[in-house]
């Protein structure tokens, strides 16, 4: 038995050493262009840009020369940072109303809570079988909650609040 235990320990140590070596040898050391652009995006995963999340949009910006004005939640700060990083000119954001936010008609809300998981930024509060409400300052205006509501009690309105903002700063060490 002691020989078998020693062999198991030796095998585990060998596998561990291989894993440590592999991680150091094959792990990416550099920040890629996609990583840098992705860090500038707001990470709301709202799909307003036409991509399923921020990283696919960052990949499209690098690989397909996509427009930099497709991220309403990021606002002008993100657009300017992307323009500076990519050497492009900032244009108008694609959203027709960058100040739009969701509002729930609480009298019509049945408390199904389907809107809560649909919100990528947790701007909807409430509980199952209770009415819900939107935290206006946190809402990005992505409209994902509108289609999730089975009773159509969610609509988009023009907000009087300062829109959702992400401050964007580029990371050094950009590699293509």
Reported as a single tens digit per residue, the pLDDT across 2-12 is: 787 888 888 88
* Domain(s) of CATH 1.10.15.40: residues in the chain: 31-95+164-175
Assess whether pLDDT exceeds 50 at residue 34.
Answer: yes
* Domain(s) of CATH 3.30.70.20: residues in the chain: 100-158
Residue 142, phi then psi, degrees to nearest 5: -75, -20
The second-level CATH assignment, the architecture, of 31-95+164-175 is Orthogonal Bundle (1.10)
Assess whether pLDDT exceeds 50 at residue 176.
Answer: no
The class of domain 100-158 in CATH terms is alpha beta
Assess whether pLDDT exceeds 90 at residue 149.
Answer: yes
Residue 54: which pLDDT band, with cuts at 50, 70 and 90? very high
| In contact, 154 and 113? CB cutoff 8 Å | no
Looking at every residue in the chain, the average pLDDT score rounds to 82
Assess whether pLDDT exceeds 90 at residue 159.
Answer: no
Question: Where do the DSSP E strands lie in the chain?
Answer: 31-32, 100-104, 124-125, 133-134, 154-158, 174-175
Q: Which one is predicted more confidently, 66 or 162?
A: 66
Residue 138: which pLDDT band, with cuts at 50, 70 and 90? confident
pLDDT at residue 171, rounded to an integer: 44
Residue 170: which pLDDT band, with cuts at 50, 70 and 90? very low
């Amino acid at each position: 038995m002691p020989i078998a235990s020693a062999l198991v320990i030796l095998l585990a140590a060998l596998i561990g050493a291989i894993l440590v070596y592999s991680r150091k040898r094959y792990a990416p050391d550099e920040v890629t262009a996609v990583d840098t652009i992705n860090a500038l995006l707001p990470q709301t995963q709202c799909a307003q840009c036409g991509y399923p999340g921020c990283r696919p949009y960052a990949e499209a910006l690098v690989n397909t020369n996509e427009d930099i004005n497709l991220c309403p939640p990021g606002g002008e700060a993100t657009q300017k940072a992307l323009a500076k990083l990519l050497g492009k000119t900032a244009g108008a954001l694609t959203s027709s109303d960058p100040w739009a936010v969701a509002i729930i008609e609480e009298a019509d809300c049945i408390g199904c809570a389907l809107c809560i998981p649909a919100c990528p930024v947790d701007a909807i509060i409430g509980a199952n079988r209770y009415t819900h409400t939107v935290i206006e300052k946190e809402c990005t205006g992505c409209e994902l909650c509108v289609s999730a509501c089975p009773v159509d009690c969610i609509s988009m309105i023009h907000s009087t609040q300062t829109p959702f903002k992400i401050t964007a700063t580029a990371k050094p060490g950009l590699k293509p």
